[in-house]
Amino acid sequence: MPARSLVLLIAALLLGGLAAFVYVQDSSLVLLREHLNHPFAFSVLACTLVVLAALGLRWKWLRALVIILAGLAGSGALLIGLFLAALGSQEDIGFVDGPDPYRVRLQQSMAGLGPDSITWLSLRRDDGLLSREWHVACFNGDDPADAYESVRWTGTSSFEIRVNDERTFPVSLDPASGRPKTTVAVNC
């Protein structure tokens, strides 16, 4: 096997490992969650590198087999990734600023294939490359009374979430880590 094919194969294995890692490991680091959390794209790229590495194989039958299998795997990863992206995409609504360095992030997504929407709230602690984000709440707009209405900071380490029927859900933060002590899920 030529050196070029060996380098491409090692790069493909590393990308495949990265794809598996980001698929199974949920991280609170914003850098990993938002910028490196693309396991299906990494899988397609790894399969492409395997095809390029296979071009250097001596035996034609092995070359053809590897190219066909890697092509099928890459096509499958691409289709599954596109399907999941279409169903699970979340749209940013905005941020509610809190005491420095905290912000509450608001996102909205469709509830399955229906017209209902789900509002997701997460707490972000800004710290440059080490910024962290934790899931805080989920509200399904299926019942108008349970739909998200607002967030209001009640102190330096606490805030409350209000829904349309005036219920409030207090959330306090761990003083050491900044992580929310409680989470809220209404019809999610």
Q: Give the pLDDT score at 111.
A: 67
Residue with the bigger pLDDT between 97 and 89: it is 97
φ/ψ (deg, to 5) at 98: -120, -165
Mean pLDDT on 156-172: 91
Q: Give the pLDDT score at 114.
A: 65
CA–CA distance from 43 to each of 16, 81, 186 (Å)? 6, 10, 35
Mean pLDDT on 152-176: 90
Q: Which residues of 96-125 are buried (b: 16+ CB within 10 A; e: fewer)?
A: bebeeebbbbbbeebeeeeeebbbbbbbbb
Size (the chain), residues: 188
Write the DSSP symbol of residue 173: B
If one counts every other C-beta atom within 10 angstroms of the C-beta of residue 12, the result is: 21
Return the CA Rg of the chain: 22
* Encoded tokens for 133: 């984000």
* Encoded tokens for 126: 């800004």
Per-residue pLDDT tens over the stretch 2-57: 788 888 888 888 888 878 877 777 666 776 677 677 788 888 888 888 888 888 88
Least confident of 13-17, 35-39, 120-124, 163-167: 35-39
Q: Which helix (H) or strand (E) holds 149?
A: strand 148-155
Residues 6 or more apart in contact with residue 137 via CB below 8 angstroms: 120, 121, 148, 161, 169, 171, 183, 184, 185, 186
Work out the burial of residue 59: count CB atoms within 10 Å of its CB; fewer than 13 is exposed, 13-18 middle, 19 or more buried: exposed
Write the DSSP symbol of residue 99: S
Q: Which helix (H) or strand (E) holds 136?
A: strand 132-140
The mean pLDDT value of the chain amounts to 84
Mean pLDDT on 149-165: 90
Q: Which helix (H) or strand (E) holds 89?
A: none
Closest listed residue to residue 149, CA positions, set 169, 125, 133:
169
